Amino acid sequence: MELKRANAPNFVASTNDKPEPVEMNLSIPERLRAFKRSLTAEEVCVLFAMHKNTIYAMAKRGEIPNTRIGITVRFGPSLLAEWWESQTIKTM
């Protein structure tokens, strides 16, 4: 699995051999919507620049949309994008 910081020039987040490049000039919701599969906590923490344990804790408290399958936690990209936008304060 290759993970790089969100501010890296060629951000890639993938759990398989085929990395998914994401354009760096996109907003976080646009980056999320570019994914065609559920994300792991490790991938979300890179995108949000947060610690992995914080992502897991937020998921456990129900503060961030997630899906649990047994002990595995996954995050739907479109739900995360909507959640991110709802958390953002809009200015005029």
**Residues 54, 60 contacting (CB under 8 angstroms):** no
Q: What φ, ψ does residue 6 adopt, rounded to 5°?
A: -60, -25
pTM: 0.69
The average pLDDT across 1-15 equals 44
DSSP letter, residue 31:
H
- Rounded Cα distance between 42 and 51, Å, is 9
- The full set of domains in the chain, from first to last, is 2-87 (1.10.10)
Q: How high is the pLDDT of residue 92?
A: 66
3-state SS assignment for residue 8? coil
Q: Give the CA diameter of the chain.
A: 44
Q: Quick: pLDDT tens for 29-50.
A: 999 999 999 999 999 999 999 9
- The amino acid at 51: H
